[in-house]
Each structure stands twice: as structure tokens, then as C-alpha cells.
Amino acid sequence: MLNPKDTEGKVVLGTYDFNPKISRKKLAHIIILHEYPISMVDHEGFREYSNSLQPLFKVVTRNTIQSDIFKIFEDEKKKTMKSFECNKSRIVITSDMWIANNRERRYMTLTAHYIDDSWTLKSQIIRYIYAFVYSFLRTIISLYNSCSPCNL
């Protein structure tokens, strides 16, 4: 339990149990939640900031945090699939495409929508992909449209 005591602008802590596994999981969650780059764990400023908060926490490498994020993804995927198995209603799947941050990168999501047993509309993203295929298909379609029967 944390028992802070203010003494002349400094905080003196009492008993405190630090669990680095919880801190690692929280770090992965903020990277996911705020869409921070995974490489932030390699930034010197972030490492210094983390050390100033909790010297016992050793910031992990980008490969380790990426592995943690994939583990969270797999756990959430299992929960989603289990909710689909228990679902008694129909599932509607929609897709959405967009271009990110004034770049030519296109993304697509597939989202499942359904009504649960308590009549609450639920939505789950079931797939998120970099849609490079979209630009390829657009090129093929424009080439097809530019061809006339006379040119064949």
C-alpha cells in the first residue's frame, strides 16, 4: 500500500509493492491505446523519464514490447471469438478503408456487428490490414478502362 507524506515539497513513500510485469503490461496498453510507435521504448528521453518514475523498472526493448503487444492481441482475439461462439444473433460484417496522415498508405478494417443477449449492439474489429492491394487494383482497373476494343 502506498502512504505518501509531504515533507517540504518532497513526497516520502511508505510501503510499496512494485510488480514489473504489471508495468510492462501497462506500457504495452498505452502504446496500443495512443498508437505510439513501438520504437518509443528505445528513446533515451523515455528511458530517463521511466527511470525517474520507478528506478526498479527496466524498460524493455522494442522486440520485447512488440511481443507483449502481440500477446495482448491474441488474448483479445480469443475473447472475441468466444463471444461470437456464444452469440445467438446474426453477425454483420462491414469494411472501411482510409488513407493515413496525408500519406499514400491505405488501411482497411473488417468489423463484426451483432446484438448480444441483453440487446446491446456490439462491434468488434476482426481484421486490420495495410491495403496495398487497393492501389494495385485501382491501377489494373484504370488500365482496363483505358483499353478500347480498337486497341486490342
pLDDT tens digits in sequence order for the chain, 152 residues long: 455 655 566 766 677 788 999 999 999 999 999 989 999 999 999 999 999 999 999 999 999 999 999 999 899 889 888 888 888 888 898 888 877 766 667 777 888 899 988 899 999 888 877 766 656 666 566 656 655 444 43
CA distance 33 to 76: 14
- On whether the pTM is more than 0.85, the answer is no
Looking at the structure, tell me whether residues 103 and 56 fall in a common domain.
no
- DSSP secondary structure string, 16-30? ----HHHHHHHHHHH
Does the residue 52 lie in any domain?
A: yes
CA distance 118 to 62: 41
Does the residue 10 lie in any domain?
A: no
The pLDDT of residue 4: 60
Does the residue 3 lie in any domain?
A: no
Residue 120 has which C-alpha cell?
Answer: 446491446
How many domains does the chain contain in total?
A: 2
CA distance 103 to 2: 47
Does the residue 11 lie in any domain?
A: no
The pLDDT of residue 45: 96
Looking at the structure, tell me whether residues 68 and 115 fall in a common domain.
no
Give the other-Cβ count within 10 Å of 44's Cβ.
7
The domain that contains 110 carries what CATH number? 3.10.450
Q: What is the DSSP letter of 40?
A: G
Does the residue 42 lie in any domain?
A: yes
CA distance 93 to 84: 12
- Buried b / exposed e over 135-145, threshold 16 CB at 10 Å, is eeeeeeeeeee
Nearest to 100 by CA among 58, 149, 134: 134
Question: Domain range for residue 134?
Answer: 87-151
For residue 139, what is the enclosing H or E element? Answer: helix 132-146
- In sequence order, the β-bridge partners of residue 110 are 95, 127
8 A C-beta contact, residue 102 and residue 65? no
Looking at the structure, tell me whether residues 69 and 92 fall in a common domain.
no
Looking at the structure, tell me whether residues 51 and 106 fall in a common domain.
no
Looking at the structure, tell me whether residues 92 and 146 fall in a common domain.
yes
